[in-house]
A and B are shown apart, each in its own frame.
Chain A
Amino acid sequence: MGRFILRRLVSTTFLILGVVLMTFALARLLPGDPARLIAGARADADAVAAVRERLGLDDPIFTQFVTYIGNVLEGDFGRSVITRRPISEDILTFFPATLELVIFAALISLVLGTALGVVAAVRAGRPSDVGVRTVAVTGLSVPDFWLALIFQLLFFATWGLLPFGGRLGTGVTPPDFVTGFMTLDSLLAGRFDLFVQALRHMILPVVVLSIPSMAITTRIVRTTMLETLSQDYVRTARAKGVSPFRLYTRHALRNALLPIVTIFGLNTGLLISGAVFIELIYDWPGLGRYTANAIAGSDYNAIMAITLVVAIAYTLINFLVDLSYALLDPRVKLA
């Protein structure tokens, strides 16, 4: 197991290096003059040359890459042309809001997706199975930015049940910043009213964000459960009188754990992507809305920095997923 972890660690390190190289290539090798982009469209030739000089864009490409890695290691991604602040500061500011959203959505899609998948597998072919599968296919097919908007039109504009967006009502003073999670911070401040408000603001974004990954989890769990339920050992267990509940949870679901964990890792990618749209619609002050604004405002430095940071985080999550294999399945050793 030690060797398994070591090997994964080495390959993950190389992968992250590759990610850095690829982001660098995207930023430097594609058409468009980065100096012109940073100096702005109305800058004269001298100003562009000055930026070029300052950023070392005339250096050999290899020297530029080394400088780039150095900057990345120092957390220096340059300044955002929109917020006029260092991008690394922006990322730290906006990150907790997104993390709060993603964690809630990941938990919901994991728990509900697994439950629905088990129900569909146990009742395969019956109306409840058909119902769950229909919902899953629909959940995979509906664009999330559209669903977010429709829910906003219904729950806010038409019925007035839930707030329009944001993390708290307008003009409400947020609790002191401790964790950056509005729900936790309001509880820590002893403000139960704010906690309820924060939860109400989270309902729509979290629900919409969790739908695609919930649909995928449901389908994977259903398929894996169906496979395990047809195995000999399950039949043996059934024959010796194991109760159905115990059979489904202890025997069958346990073998579906590995695919569930894999899909959980992949789903985080989906959640990060989804946050870009959902935060834009619900005016959620997180990294997703920041990214959407960066794209709309052609803030290339910010786009590339986020791409890099998000890809590294995603790679690390999948590294952890790989490690959990070794814990969950004793057969995974030196693979």
Chain B
Amino acid sequence: MTPATGISAPDTPLGKLRHIWTFATSSGQAILAVGIVGFILIVSVLSFAAFMADTYITSFDPLKMDIRARLEPPGAEHWMGTDKIGRDMLARVVAGSWISLSVSFAVLIVAAIVGTTAGLIAGYVGGIVDEIIMRITDLFLAFPALILAAAIAASFGGGMIPTTIALAAVFWPWYARLIRSRVISLKEEEFIASSRCLGSSHRQIIFHSLLPMVWPLVIVQATTDVGFVILAASGLSFLGLGAQPPTPEWGAMIFDSLTHQPASWWLAVFPGGAIALVAVGFNLLGDALRDHLDPSLGAADAGV
């Protein structure tokens, strides 16, 4: 059986839209998940657009300092208060959304491409190639994830791009293993043998027969992983490895707040709440997608 292909959406744009709508309203969890994730995406796209166009409303510039308004608690003028140099926290938390999301998407795109390629090759070719690729994934998984990511990011001297590479290095083995096990069972099915008989090359089989059947798995996994990557990325920034000042990154903002505790609680509460909201949203969305695409799977391998 190939349950994961239940995603085959009708090809017309309207049909696709209807398909998404069916999913988004399929359960209470799906409604909640789509609501949260939709809200976050809209906020981050708007904030990115404002950043690119450089047209912040004066009071909404995440980098604009106002020494007279230092460490103000949340109030009518600054809904989330201001930080130690009078920057508006709401503006910074909002700006942090596209930073976190873009890092997370970059990490997952790299991890999914590398992992899926490795998994397809390992599962399809088998033998010694499979053995080598799987032992490499073992090696990456032999380190506690955050420790390996921190070591890699530190080796590169810290910063956004090293963080992205470090996190991709931590996440790709899961994709390789997931895809490999799926490919191994798919490989035995008749349609692969028949397309071999019809003269398809190995490359055609991998890209035209196998890839379309495994990519829904990748999408579901990646959706769930967005939350975990954002947690890990903000963790690295908290340790001083990721985003550097004055970038309004959530983890870095929480670290900066430490010297102002317990007096200025708002400096930590709002960025952390934002991280949690994004992670909850994508976790729920991943679970809902999994249930929707294959109810029999349940949340079988969720959480790891």
- On A, residues with C-beta under 8 Å from B are 14-15, 18-19, 22-23, 26-27, 30-32, 137-138, 140-143, 145-147, 149-150, 152-153, 156-158, 215-216, 219-220, 222-223, 226-227, 263, 266, 268-270, 272-273, 276-277, 281, 291-292, 295-296, 298, 300, 303-304, 306-307, 310-311, 314-315, 318
Interface 0/1 of B219-256, CB less than 8 Å to A: 00000000100010011001111000000000100100
A226–B298 contact, CB under 8 A?
yes
Could you pull out 17 A-B pairs where Cβ atoms are within 8 angstroms? A26-B151, A30-B155, A31-B156, A141-B276, A141-B280, A141-B283, A142-B276, A145-B238, A150-B269, A153-B262, A153-B265, A216-B303, A226-B298, A277-B238, A295-B150, A295-B240, A303-B150
* Given known contacts A27-B155, A146-B268, A295-B240, A314 and B276 CB-to-CB distance under 8 angstroms: no
B303–A215 contact, CB under 8 A?
yes
B304–A295 contact, CB under 8 A?
no
Contact partner of B138 (CB less than 8 A), chosen from A15, A32, A137, is A15
**What are the residues of chain A within 8 A of B275 when measuring CB–CB?**
142-143, 146
Report the Cα distance A281→B235, complex, angstroms: 13
Residue of A nearest to B241 (CB): A295
B235–A145 contact, CB under 8 A?
yes
B142–A19 contact, CB under 8 A?
yes
**What are the residues of chain A within 8 A of B49 when measuring CB–CB?**
none
Most buried by A among B239, B261, B300, B302: B239
Contact partner of A216 (CB less than 8 A), chosen from B145, B148, B304, is B304
Contact partner of B147 (CB less than 8 A), chosen from A137, A146, A158, A273, is A273
Report the Cα distance A158→B262, complex, angstroms: 9
Residue of B nearest to A21 (CB): B139
Other A-B contacts than A268-B144, A269-B145, A273-B145, 17 sampled, CB-CB below 8 A, are: A137-B283, A137-B284, A137-B287, A138-B280, A141-B283, A143-B234, A143-B254, A146-B268, A150-B272, A219-B299, A226-B298, A273-B147, A300-B155, A303-B154, A307-B143, A310-B144, A314-B144
Report the Cα distance A318→B287, complex, angstroms: 27
- Least CB distance, A149 to chain B, in whole angstroms: 5
**What are the residues of chain A within 8 A of B238 when measuring CB–CB?**
143, 145, 277
B144–A298 contact, CB under 8 A?
no
Residue of B nearest to A138 (CB): B280
- Least CB distance, B108 to chain A, in whole angstroms: 17
Report the Cα distance A306→B239, complex, angstroms: 15
Residue of B nearest to A310 (CB): B147
A140–B154 contact, CB under 8 A?
no
Residue of A nearest to B279 (CB): A141
Report the Cα distance A266→B239, complex, angstroms: 23
B279–A142 contact, CB under 8 A?
yes
**What are the residues of chain B within 8 A of A156 when measuring CB–CB?**
262
**What are the residues of chain B within 8 A of A138 when measuring CB–CB?**
276, 280
- Least CB distance, B34 to chain A, in whole angstroms: 15
- Least CB distance, B147 to chain A, in whole angstroms: 5
**What are the residues of chain A within 8 A of B148 when measuring CB–CB?**
307, 311
- Least CB distance, A229 to chain B, in whole angstroms: 12
- Least CB distance, B73 to chain A, in whole angstroms: 14
Asked if B146 is at the interface (CB within 8 A of a chain A CB), the reply is: yes
Q: Which 5 A-B pairs have the closest CB atoms?
A: A146-B272, A141-B279, A157-B262, A273-B146, A269-B144
Asked if B258 is at the interface (CB within 8 A of a chain A CB), the reply is: yes
Contact partner of A146 (CB less than 8 A), chosen from B143, B150, B154, B276, is B276
**What are the residues of chain A within 8 A of B139 when measuring CB–CB?**
15, 18-19, 22
A311–B303 contact, CB under 8 A?
no
Asked if B152 is at the interface (CB within 8 A of a chain A CB), the reply is: yes
Report the Cα distance A306→B235, complex, angstroms: 18
Residue of B nearest to A15 (CB): B142
**What are the residues of chain A within 8 A of B144 when measuring CB–CB?**
268-270, 272-273, 310-311, 314
Asked if B157 is at the interface (CB within 8 A of a chain A CB), the reply is: yes
Residue of B nearest to A309 (CB): B147
A143–B272 contact, CB under 8 A?
yes
Residue of A nearest to B265 (CB): A153
Report the Cα distance A158→B155, complex, angstroms: 40
Report the Cα distance A170→B296, complex, angstroms: 55
**What are the residues of chain B within 8 A of A216 when measuring CB–CB?**
303-304
Residue of A nearest to B224 (CB): A140
- Least CB distance, B99 to chain A, in whole angstroms: 15
**What are the residues of chain B within 8 A of A276 when measuring CB–CB?**
146-147, 150, 239
**What are the residues of chain A within 8 A of B239 when measuring CB–CB?**
276-277, 292, 295-296
**What are the residues of chain B within 8 A of A158 when measuring CB–CB?**
262
- Least CB distance, B256 to chain A, in whole angstroms: 12
Report the Cα distance A226→B144, complex, angstroms: 29
**What are the residues of chain A within 8 A of B272 when measuring CB–CB?**
142-143, 146-147, 149-150
**What are the residues of chain B within 8 A of A150 when measuring CB–CB?**
268-269, 272
**What are the residues of chain A within 8 A of B258 when measuring CB–CB?**
149, 281
**What are the residues of chain A within 8 A of B135 when measuring CB–CB?**
14, 18
Residue of B nearest to A147 (CB): B272
**What are the residues of chain B within 8 A of A147 when measuring CB–CB?**
272
**What are the residues of chain B within 8 A of A18 when measuring CB–CB?**
135, 138-139, 142
Residue of A nearest to B148 (CB): A307
Interface 0/1 of B265-287, CB less than 8 Å to A: 10011011001100110011001
Report the Cα distance A142→B235, complex, angstroms: 11
**What are the residues of chain B within 8 A of A137 when measuring CB–CB?**
280, 283-284, 287
**What are the residues of chain B within 8 A of A226 when measuring CB–CB?**
298
**What are the residues of chain B within 8 A of A223 when measuring CB–CB?**
298-300, 302
Report the Cα distance A32→B254, complex, angstroms: 29
